């Protein structure tokens, strides 16, 4: 990266500015090349400043949450990676008169922390995120979901930062949630938002969450690094079942393996590369298409350059 750009960014940001950061340390798959620069904005104001700076200098950036639905190619990422998980993570319970409560939270807040708040205060609505190891911003961007529920179902509003540096609040309905995607213009940053919750008994809520966690432990390979579901479920079918019927459970490429427990998971058994994982994804897509005519669509977000 140009040294003038690097020095200018360090003057603008009081939070951390790190160079040549291995992204294998920042994704749940534990693979990926280096980012030229990683920035931890210390506040919303710093985030605004960095995004406006990048626009002026035509400097690409990627916003990264917990890296739980992300595959970074082995060549890494040119430009900046913005990490919001150290500063923009506040959560506040709002209780309007004569209305159900709202949970206002910043994009860097972890789903685990938000669920803990709900369990502590007896608030239903977010049980389905139990066990998803991501940040709220990432969950919104991917319209994360499980057990028949997804983020679009519980979102009241989202506040966005546009590539030009403007702050906009968008309410639901009207937010363009799709299957495992929130359709936003490239470069848009999710800052915060409000989630609809409802009051319920703490014991009842805890029992529901424990049931979901138990089901995850029984059906998903939680003992090895993965990025969750690799492919979206096509209409009327389950991607994992299709891959299993194609005889690909346990198939390996290098250090990557199609999980023997759940075929829509690819796990890092040790020393896997992004190339290994991409090879398995291509094998699964090709074999399922040859046998069923169904074209699997990735749920996993793939970014960066080839090594």
pLDDT, mean of residues 152-164: 93
CA 153 from centroid of its chain's CA atoms: 17
pLDDT for res 218: 92
Top-level CATH class of 91-218? alpha beta
pLDDT, mean of residues 202-212: 95
Strands (E), the chain: 17-22, 34-39, 61-64, 70-72, 77-83, 91-94, 102-106, 123-124, 145-146, 149-150, 155-161, 167-171, 177-178, 181-182, 189-196, 198-199, 252-253, 256-258, 266-268, 301-303
pLDDT for res 307: 80
Active-site residue 229, yes or no?
yes
More confident residue, 252 or 96: 252
Q: How many CB atoms lie within 10 A of CB 134?
A: 25
Reported as half-sphere exposure (CB side, CA atoms, 13 A), residue 232 has a value of 16
Do the Cβ atoms of 138 and 145 come closer than 8 Å?
no
Question: Under DSSP, is residue 295 helix (H, G, I), strand (E, B) or coil?
Answer: coil
Do the Cβ atoms of 68 and 28 come closer than 8 Å?
yes
170: exposed, middle or buried (Cβ count in 10 Å: 0-12, 13-18, 19+): middle
pLDDT, mean of residues 16-22: 93
207 has pLDDT over 80: yes
182 has pLDDT over 70: yes
240 has pLDDT over 80: yes
**33-85 residue pLDDT tens:** 999 999 999 999 999 999 999 988 889 999 998 899 999 999 999 999 999 98
pLDDT for res 174: 85
Out of 73, 89, 180, 251, pick the active-site residue: 180
pLDDT, mean of residues 208-215: 94
Active-site residue 299, yes or no?
yes
Q: Which of 44, 69, 46 is nearest to 265 (CA)?
A: 69
d(CA 168, CA 165): 10
Q: What does CATH list as the number for 221-303?
A: 3.90.78.10
Q: Which two tokens stand for residue 94?
A: 């709002």
Q: Determine how β-strand 198-199 pairs with β-strand 123-124.
A: antiparallel
Asked if the domains at 3-83 and 221-303 fall in one CATH topology, the answer is no
Beta bridge partners of residue 201, listed in sequence order: none
293 has pLDDT over 90: yes
More confident residue, 5 or 121: 121
* Full DSSP string of 223-288: TS---S-SBPPPTTS-HHHHHHHTT-TT-EETTEEE-SS-TT-EEE-SS--HHHHHHHHHHHHHHH
CA 196 from centroid of its chain's CA atoms: 20
Out of 229, 251, 285, 287, pick the active-site residue: 229
Q: Which two tokens stand for residue 124?
A: 């239903």
pLDDT for res 165: 83
Q: Tell me phi and psi for residue 64, to 5 degrees.
A: -120, 130
pLDDT, mean of residues 99-125: 93
149 has pLDDT over 80: yes
1 has pLDDT over 80: no
Out of 106, 127, 253, 299, pick the active-site residue: 299
Q: Of all residues in the chain, what percent carry a pLDDT higher than 90?
A: 81
Q: What does CATH list as the number for 3-83?
A: 3.30.43.10
Question: Under DSSP, is residue 178 helix (H, G, I), strand (E, B) or coil?
Answer: strand
Q: How many CB atoms lie within 10 A of CB 302?
A: 13
Confidence of residue 108 (pLDDT cuts 50, 70, 90): very high
192 has pLDDT over 90: yes
Between 35-39, 160-164, 254-258, 287-291, the lowest mean confidence (pLDDT) is in: 160-164
Q: Which two tokens stand for residue 277?
A: 């994982």
- Per domain, the residue ranges of the chain are 3-83, 91-218, 221-303
Residues in CB range of 307: below 8 A, 6 or more apart:
33, 73, 74, 75, 76, 273, 274, 275
Q: Which letter does DSSP use for residue 202 in this model?
A: H
Q: Determine how β-strand 167-171 pairs with β-strand 177-178.
A: unpaired
């Amino acid at each position: 990266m140009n040294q003038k750009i690097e020095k200018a960014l360090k003057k603008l940001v009081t939070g951390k500015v790190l160079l040549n950061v291995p992204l294998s340390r920042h994704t749940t798959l534990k693979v990926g090349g280096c980012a030229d620069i990683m920035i931890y904005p210390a506040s919303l104001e710093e985030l605004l400043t960095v995004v406006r700076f990048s626009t002026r200098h035509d400097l690409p950036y990627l916003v990264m949450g917990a890296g739980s639905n992300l595959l970074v190619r082995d060549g890494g990422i040119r430009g900046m990676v913005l990490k919001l998980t150290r500063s923009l993570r506040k959560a506040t319970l709002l209780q309007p008169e004569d209305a159900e409560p709202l949970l206002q939270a910043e994009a860097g807040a972890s789903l685990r922390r938000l669920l803990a708040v709900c369990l502590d205060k007896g608030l239903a609505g977010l049980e389905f995120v139990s066990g998803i190891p991501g940040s709220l911003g990432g969950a919104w961007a991917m319209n994360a979901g499980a057990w028949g529920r997804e983020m679009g179902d519980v979102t009241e509003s989202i506040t966005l930062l546009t590539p030009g540096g403007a702050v906009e609040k968008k309410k639901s309905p009207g937010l363009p949630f799709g299957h495992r995607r929130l359709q936003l213009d490239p470069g848009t940053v999710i800052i915060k938002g409000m989630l609809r919750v409802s009051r319920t008994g703490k014991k009842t809520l805890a029992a529901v969450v424990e049931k979901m966690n138990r089901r995850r432990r029984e059906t998903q390979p939680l003992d090895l690094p993965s990025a969750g579901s690799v492919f979206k479920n096509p209409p009327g079918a389950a991607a994992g079942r299709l891959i299993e019927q194609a005889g690909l459970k346990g198939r390996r490429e290098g250090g990557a393996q199609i999980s023997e427990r759940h075929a829509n998971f690819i796990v890092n058994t040790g020393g896997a590369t992004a190339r290994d994982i991409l090879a398995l994804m291509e094998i699964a897509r090709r074999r399922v298409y040859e046998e069923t005519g169904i074209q699997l669509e990735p749920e996993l977000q793939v970014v960066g350059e080839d090594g």
